[in-house]
Amino acid sequence: MSTTSLTESERHALLSSERRRVVLDVLEEQPAEVQLADLASDVAKREVGLDAVESETVKRVKITLHHNHLPKMDELGILAYCPNSHQIS
């Protein structure tokens, strides 16, 4: 996962979102492939700063990742996201 091939404008757009920055941090510590539910849980924990978060919080994070952040990151070539299988690689 590299941002070096992005234009300056694309890098700014990518990193302008705190949630996308957290996603990048979480993915650096994950295996090559991860499911959306696991990623959403890890992102929610980091954002809240707790080891356990409410399922409603994880659900909201999962929705924004699925509809907004992961498609944008996939479009920029930062990661590969399959919306049908909810697989991130």
Task: For 8-48, write each residue's pLDDT tens digit.
Answer: 888 888 888 999 999 999 999 987 899 999 999 999 999 99
* Residue 89 binned pLDDT confidence (cut-offs 50, 70, 90): very high
| pLDDT at site 70 | 97
Structure tokens at 19: 């949630």
**pTM for the complete prediction?**
0.88
Q: What pLDDT is stored for residue 12 in this prediction?
A: 87
2 pLDDT exceeds 60?
no
CB of 45 closer than 8 Å to CB of 58: no
H helix runs in the chain, sequence order: 8-15, 18-28, 36-48, 55-64, 70-75
Domain regions of the chain by residue span? 8-88
pLDDT digits (tens, 9 = 90+) for 46-86: 999 888 899 999 999 999 999 999 999 999 999 999 999 99
